[in-house]
Amino acid sequence: MQASRRRAACAPCHWRKVKCDLAASGTPCSNCRKGPAPDECRTHIKRKRQGARAVAIVPANRPSTQETLQNHGVSAANPPAAVHAAQSAVVHSALPGLNKDDCKTLLVEFVEQPAIDTRAIDKDARVTYIGTGLSNLNFLVRHRSSTSDACHHASNRIARQHTSYEPERLPAEALQLPEKTLVDRLLEMYFGHVNAYFPVVDERRFMAQYDAKDPQNPPSLVLLQAMLVAGAHVFYVGDERQAIKATFFRRAKMLVDARFERNRDIVVQACLLLTWHTDGVEDVAANAWLWVHMAATIALGLGMHRDAEPSRLVEHNKRMWRRVFWLLYTYDISLSLQHGRPQVIRLKDCDVAELRCTDFDECGENTATDFVVQRTNLMRILSEAVRARFALRSTPESRIQSLRNADERLALWTQQLPDELKLRPTITLGLQASMLHLAYNSGLMLLHRPRPPAEANGDEMRREDADICSAAAAHVQSLLESLREQDMLKYLPSNSVHVCFTALIQLNVELRLANPILATAAEHRFGSLLESLRHLSAIWPQALPIVYYFERIAKHRKDEASGQHAAPQQQCPETGYNDSNGTVAQQYETGNIEHASLENGLDTDWQQLFGNEPFDFVTDNAVTQYWQTWPAHYWDGSPAESVSPSTNIML
């Protein structure tokens, strides 16, 4: 009894996990006397725990995990390609069964904790988002909390066996890593070429954990495997890239599916990084659409869309949450533009603060802060414009007005860009400026190109829309050609395929112009852009069907121009498309399209765009007839009326 009395602690000290002198000084203890509520000092009574359910005992002669791995020829130093045989090996752990008493008291422990307003949300606590005023949990907490603005509170951590999904069946491969020298190299590539423009991870904090080798504070394995996916994307080339990315992706997915990681915000980061791998052609139940929406679901459940400043969340996590949320928001809009599907995140439901420069302090010295901030601003404009222009119940008048408003905001956005991100005629743009203007010009084409005749509903076709789309497509072609010549296409995210797709549709329209000069200029841009897409298809396999589609269009157009009939065609077993010689179908099936060698130097259009020579392009005065019939070119093959080139225009 005396020993138990000496170990006694009051309830507030027990919740705060601090040393209590209740046994020596009586109630209230010295901590409670200094606190705001000394009357709440009472002895903490430990509840009696029922014995855990009996679990199967692993036989003594069962081979250990290490022996199992060795039998499969796998060790921690094996490269990724050597672990395929170990997928069937299973990590067995004798975890206790589910104790119902541990679960049934979770709500009581959270709501009735005496330090609900003052307890820090640190690594020893679990974040609980109480929701809006509609939530029952919000109602209960508000009646006990003196901080009405905070919607994030600390709660006790939950044992892994209550949050994970059959961790004892986790394949051993998920816990494997290649030799450290390879991991170091992949992390270097990740932080240098991916995290610099998409700062999902705090480089300094992560590398401090990684280099410390502290088993009590290791880096997240889920996050590490996801980072290796993105690092392998920019490090490897050809078929080796896809094979090694698939290995790391498979391991990370196993850990995510098993809910191995207890920190939900880290799972959000990992899901965003898994978009750097394409796992087949499914684009609804897999790949970027699935991972971004999984990340959004977890982020909204955590309350990352809400202002965390009034909460007791540690400052580092406040900055990380804010930065990751806005990155997630840009990913969400990018996918919405790509597929024409609804956005998950609505800013009307969010009160998270704007991005600040301090949010990037721990992301490394290579972080392109201005680029991230300006891309976020651009995506917000495009999001609001798309919602207004393509609303299901919008009127023609509201669509026209929304487009005008979007043009004004986009023009103001371009004027306010930092100098290093502006499009200048005499300067070759770097990667971050190129990615920014690719997104900008893609958005212009999506907003200004005509709707199908059946959906037009009286929309007025403005004369300048044709110029805007043509100029935007020319910009995309020039930017991608420059990146291709600098061997920088591999650093582009997957939405670059959609940008290229959009521009090719526009240029394909311009190829139907009856004027031979205009058609020839469009033909040159079309060929250059198609070559860039071929290079992208070696990096992002989802570009292969688009390449095949436009190659068929180009061949058909060439046959029509020469007055020849197409040769008997073979059908591609993978796509159902036809191919006259079978070569494209065969290359598509093997996923290995051979690219023609690139010409050295800059072509004429590139020199005109970023040099002192003006473009021989169509001006407002020259498209008087073109813009009137231009919408129909998207939906039929009839040539446009002849348009004569007039004065030059600088794009």
Q: Are residues 155 and 192 in the same domain?
A: no
So what's the pLDDT on residue 546?
95
Banded model confidence at residue 638, pLDDT cuts 50, 70, 90: very low
pLDDT higher than 80, residue 66:
no
pLDDT at 73: 41
CA pair distance 340, 289, nearest whole angstrom: 12
Determine the Cα–Cα distance for residues 225 and 205; give it in Å rounded to an integer: 17
Task: Average the pLDDT over 592-598 and give the result.
Answer: 29
Check whether residue 411 and residue 498 sit in a common domain: no
| Tally of structural domains, the chain | 5
595 occurs within a structural domain: no
Residue 212 C-alpha from the chain's centroid: 29
Residues 156 and 188 in one domain: no
Query: Is residue 231 within 8 Å of residue 187, measured between CB atoms?
Result: yes
pLDDT of residue 529: 97
- Same-domain check for residues 347 and 399: no
Please give the Cα distance from 230 to 2 (Å, whole number): 59
Provide the pLDDT confidence category of residue 603 given band limits of 50, 70 and 90: very low
pLDDT of residue 105: 79
CB-CB contact of 121 with 314 (8 Å): yes
Q: Highest mean pLDDT: which of 5-9, 424-428, 600-604, 615-619?
A: 424-428
Q: Note the pTM of the prediction, 2 decimals.
A: 0.73
Residue 67 in domain: no
Alpha-carbon distance 310 to 392, whole Å? Answer: 38
Assigned domain for 310 exists: yes
pLDDT at 65 over 70: no
Q: Are residues 107 and 239 in the same domain?
A: no
Q: Tell whether 230 and 272 lie within a shared domain.
A: yes
Q: Are residues 393 and 431 in the same domain?
A: no
Q: Find the domain containing 11 and state its range.
A: 1-44
Q: Please check whether residues 138 and 122 belong to one and the same domain.
A: yes
Q: Is residue 244 part of a domain?
A: yes
